Amino acid sequence: MTSYLTRADLSVAAPIVEFAEASLADSGRDATAFWAGVSGIVNDLVPRNAALLARRDELQAQIDDYHRQHPGQPDPAAYRAFLTEIGYLVPVPEHVAVTTENVDPEIATMAGPQLVVPLLNARFALNAANARWGSLYDALYGTDAIERTGELAPGREFNPARAAAVVSFGREFLDEIAPLTEGSHRDATGYRVDTAGLVVATAAGDRRLADPARFVGYTGEAEAPATVLLVQNGLHAELLIDRTGPIGRTDAAGVQDIILESAVTAILDLEDSVAAVDGEDKALGYRNWRGFMDGTLTESVTKGGTTFTRSLAADRVYRTADGGEVTLPGRATLFIRNVGHLMRTPAVLDRNGDEVFEGILDAIMTALGSLPELEGPNKGANSRTGSMYIVKPKMHGPEEVAFASELFGRVEELLGLPARTMKVGIMDEERRTSANLAASIAAAGDRVAFINTGFLDRTGDEIHTSMHAGPFLPKAQIKAQPFMQAYEDRNVAIGVASGLTGRAQIGKGMWAEPDLMHDMLQKKIAHPRAGASTAWVPSPTAATLHALHYHQVDAFAARAALPAVSAAALDALLVPPLAPEGVLTEEVVATEVDNNVQSILGYVVRWIDQGIGVSKVPDIHDVGLMEDRATLRISSQLLANWLQHGVITEEQVDDSLRRLAVVVDAQNAGDENYEPLAFEEGSALREPQGPGIAFIAARRLITEGAAQPSGYTEPLLHGLRREKKAEQLARV
C-alpha cells in the first residue's frame, strides 16, 4: 500500500518525498518553499491540462460523427474543410523562425544514431549512455551484418574466416572515410604520427591521407600509437592498435579493432518503454535520472561467472600532431522522455484527493534531478551549454505544445533556473500534430531542440482517429500507404523551413528488428538520405552499425538538397489507409488476427506480470521484435477497428487468444519469473484455473480499444498492473 505524506496541500507518496527532499537538501533549496511552489503549479495547471484532454475528446467525437455520416474514403476537399471548421486544422504560420539557444553540438550540428532505453532498468540505461563508442569488429562478428552461413558461420569456437571477413569490412570502411593519397588501408603495415599528421606505412612506402584533416589525434607514442582518431562528417572512428591482441597480432598493421563514435545521443525513457504505475516506480526512475546527472549511478553486472560494476564511461583524451590535446565525450548526450499529457498518477494527490497529471510531476521531478549537472558538482557533464533536454511525447497539436512550454517555464521559476534551460523535444507522432507541425514548432519556438517521427504511434493514432471511416489495411501494409511517406517528408521539410538546422535534431523512428542487422544496414541508410540528423536504434550494437550510414551520407548536405514538399502533401497525410474491397479475405484476416494477438499477449504478459515495459518479443514465427506500448497500440487498435466494422467477431478474438496463449507460454518457457497465460478451458474469470490479469488485459485492449482515449493503452495497462502488484504483494 502506498504511504502518503502531507506537503503543502498535497498528499505525496513517501518515495517521491524522499527523492525530492534529498535532492533539495543537496542543492541547498528550501523544502517548504518548494512544495508550496509545486502546489501552485498543480492548482494552476491541472485544470488546464484537463481542458486540453476534453478538447481532444470533443474533436474526436466530431470526427467520429463525420465518418459515420460519410463512411469510406472522405473527399479530400470536403474533409479538409470540415477539419478546418472544427479547429482540428489551424492556420499555418506565415513564417516560423526557431530561436532556441544553448543547444549542444550533438543535437544541433552533429548527425548520428540515437538510443531509446527504459530508465527504470539501470543496466540498460548505463549501456545506452556508454554506447557513445562501440566496437565495429564486435558488431560485425556477432550479428548477421556479415554473412552467417558456410565458412563464415560463427559457431561456438572462434572462426578465423569470419574474423578475416570482419577485418576486410573494416579496411574497406577506412578507405571510405580516410582514403590514402594512393593505395589502400589494406596495404598498411603500421601507423605513426609526425608533425604533419598521420603516416601509413605500406610495403610500397609511406602514405598519407588524401585529406589530412581526417586525422584528429592519437594516444600512446607518436612512433607507435595505441590509438589513431579519424573523423568523417563530424563522426569519429578510432583505430585500436595492439600487436599483442588476438586480432592485432595477426594483422599486418596491428589493428585490433575499430571503435566508432556511435550513439551520439540517447533518450532515457519514462514513457513507452517502462511500466511505471505508482509512486514507487516513479521514484525509481527519478533516482536513476539523478544518478546520471550527478555521475554516481552504477550497476553490478555478472557475465560469464564474473561480477563487475558498470559505471559511466570517462571522456576520451587524444594528442594532436602539433602537440595539442583533444577531448571527446565518453558518453551520449542524454535526453529524458517525460510522459505525455494524458495520464494521472497516484504518486501525488491534490487538495481534493484527486491524482495529479503525471506529465506535470515528471517535469518537476526530472528537472530537480538535473540540478547536479546544471549547477552542481557535476556541472556540464551532460550539457556543456547548460541545457536540459526533455522529449515530450503524444502531444496533440500546438495548444498542447504551448502548454508543455508553459509548464517548463513554471518549473524553471520554481527551481530558480535560467529561462529556457529546459528544452523540448516534440514527438511528431499524433495526426493532429503532424497536420499542424509548423504551428506546433512555433508554439515552442524558443525551446524546441528536437522533432522526431514516430511511425508506430503515428499509425496507432491514424487508426483511432479514423476508427469509424471503415476497416483498415493489415498493419504491414499501412506503413507503405501514401499518408506515411507524406508524414515523413513533411516532418523534415517543415523542420528545415522552421529553422531547426543548427539548433535542433530532426529525427526518424525505430528499427524494431534487433536481430536483423543486415537488413538494417540495407534500409536504414534512407534516414540520413532523407535529411534526418538522427534515427532510433534498438541496441548499442545497432547504434555502431547505423553509425556507418552517417559516415557514408552527410545528412545535412542531403537535407539541403531535398526537394520542397508540395502543399498537396497535407491532403495525402489526411487519407486514412482503409482496406479496398476484396483485400481482407478470410485467410488474410485470420493470419492478421493471430499475428496481432500473439504480439499483444507476448508483450502484455511481461508488462503486467513483471513490469517490463520494452522487450524483444518473439513473433508468431519466433522472430524477435522490439515491442513497447507504441507497437501494442497499433495491434490493439487494428483489431478494435476490425471488430467495430464486423470484419472479425469477439468469438474469433477469444479463439485466437486461447490458442496463442499456449504459443506465448512455450516461447517464455525459459523464464523462471514467467506466469503462464493459458488456462483451463471452460473456467470462469477469476477462478484459480481461469485467465489471469495479463490475459484479461490483452483481451480488454482489443475489445475496449475503440473506447480508449486516442487509442492509448496506458489507462488499461496502468490500472491492471497496479492490480497485479497488489495481487503479488498479497501472496507475499
Centre a 10 Å sphere on the Cβ of residue 726 and count the other Cβ atoms it contains: 12
Of the candidates 293, 287, 250, the one whose C-alpha atom is nearest the C-alpha of residue 270 is: 287
Q: Give the H/E segment covering residue 342.
A: none
CA dihedral 121, 266, 405, 355 (to 10 degrees): -10
Q: Is 392 helix (H, G, I), strand (E, B) or coil?
A: strand
Three-class secondary structure assignment of 19-30 = HHHHHHHHHCCC
How many angstroms separate the CA atoms of 541 and 419, rounded? 38
Is 628 in the active site?
Answer: yes
DSSP letters spanning 578-620: BPPTT-S-HHHHHHHHHHHHHHHHHHHHHHHHH---SEEEE-T
Considering the candidates 628, 629, 699, 700, report the single residue annotated as catalytic: 628
DSSP letters spanning 697-724: HHHHHHHTGGGSGGG-SHHHHHHHHHHH
Place of cell 469509424: 468
Considering the candidates 7, 287, 337, 700, report the single residue annotated as catalytic: 337
Residues 185, 174: contact at Cβ < 8 Å? yes
Residues 6+ apart with CB under 8 A from 52: 341, 396, 399, 400, 403
Of the candidates 255, 235, 259, the one whose C-alpha atom is nearest the C-alpha of residue 247 is: 255
Tell me which DSSP letter residue 74 carries.
P
How many angstroms separate the CA atoms of 128 and 331, rounded? 9
Compute the radius of gyration of the chain from its Cα atoms.
26
Residue 655: alpha-carbon gap to chain centroid? 34
Distances (CA, A) of 200 to 178, 210, 571: 11, 11, 56
Of the candidates 31, 8, 28, 27, the one whose C-alpha atom is nearest the C-alpha of residue 18 is: 31
How many angstroms separate the CA atoms of 708 and 694, rounded? 18
Is 554 in the active site?
Answer: no
Residues 6+ apart with CB under 8 A from 453: 428, 429, 487, 488, 491, 507, 508, 509
Please, is 154 exposed, middle or buried when counting C-beta atoms within 10 Å of its C-beta (0-12, 13-18, 19+)?
middle
Q: Supply the residues annotated as catalytic.
A: 337, 628
